[in-house]
């Protein structure tokens, strides 16, 4: 009888706490995953070296895989500093061949969100000697306005990045020649400030 009373008292206490403290919503996050035809070493190097990043992610990068080291991805290396892409980003944590994390910003077209930072964690799991599963978790989002636009943008963008990573190991590194020619043409056509 005493146990039943204690259980009921426990349930009442939990219910009372739920009424006192508002229920917290889960943190908004983007979660993506891809399995690539690459060894763990090759997948790791794709994310932690300049040569690796330029093979699938962007035409230029500044990468120093150490805590606090640069993780700068230049989607448009022809743009002015601060508008190239993920300018001034840095590695936050590294667990060799298991996990990297880095801060991240919104694209230049969303200046209010870009002025702040979000947080990305990429994890690596060897499936076998020739296959690796790569997961990406992006969190730290604000709400409303440009935050919602940035969230929608990266929902699509990270799927494309991981698709490009898969393609890099299926068919070879990205050839950025046409992309850079297109950027140069747009830059030449843009009105001078």
Check if the beta carbon of residue 103 is closer than 8 Å to that of residue 86. Answer: no
Q: How many domains does the chain have?
A: 1
Residue 7 lies in a domain: no
Q: Could you write out the DSSP letters of every residue in 55-91?
A: TTT-SEEEE--STT-BEEEESSTTSPTTSSEETT-BE
Instruction: Say how far apart CA 108 and CA 86 lie, in whole Å.
Output: 9
Q: What is the DSSP letter of 52?
A: H
Q: Token pair of 27, please?
A: 């943190």
pLDDT confidence band for 17 (50 / 70 / 90): very low
Residue 170 lies in a domain: yes
Residue 16 lies in a domain: no
CATH number (domain holding residue 115): 3.30.530.20
| Residue numbers of the domain that contains 139 | 28-180
Residue 106 lies in a domain: yes
Q: What average pLDDT does range 24-45 have in this prediction?
A: 93
Residue 13 lies in a domain: no
Residue 93 lies in a domain: yes
Instruction: Say how far apart CA 167 and CA 163 lie, in whole Å.
Output: 6
60-90 pLDDT tens trace = 999 999 999 999 999 999 999 999 999 999 9
pLDDT confidence band for 26 (50 / 70 / 90): confident
Residue 54 lies in a domain: yes
Quote the pLDDT of residue 18. Answer: 46
162-191 pLDDT tens trace = 999 999 999 999 999 999 999 999 988 888
């Amino acid at each position: 009888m005493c146990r039943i009373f204690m259980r009921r008292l426990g349930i009442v206490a939990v219910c009372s706490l739920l009424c006192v403290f508002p229920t917290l919503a889960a943190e908004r996050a983007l979660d993506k995953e891809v399995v690539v035809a690459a060894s763990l070493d090759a997948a790791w190097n794709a994310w932690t070296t300049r040569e690796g990043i330029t093979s699938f992610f962007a035409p230029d990068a500044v990468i120093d895989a150490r805590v606090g080291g640069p993780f700068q991805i230049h989607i448009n290396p022809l743009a002015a500093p601060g508008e190239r892409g993920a300018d001034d980003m840095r590695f936050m944590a590294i667990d060799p061949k298991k996990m990297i994390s880095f801060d991240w910003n919104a694209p230049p077209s969303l200046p209010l969100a870009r002025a702040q930072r979000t947080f990305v964690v990429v994890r690596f799991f060897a499936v076998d000697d020739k296959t690796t599963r790569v997961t990406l978790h992006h969190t730290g989002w604000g709400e409303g306005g440009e935050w919602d636009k940035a969230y929608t943008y990266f929902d699509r963008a990270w799927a494309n990045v991981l698709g490009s990573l898969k393609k890099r190991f299926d068919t070879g590194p990205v050839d950025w020649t046409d992309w850079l020619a297109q950027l140069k043409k747009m830059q030449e056509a843009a009105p001078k400030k």
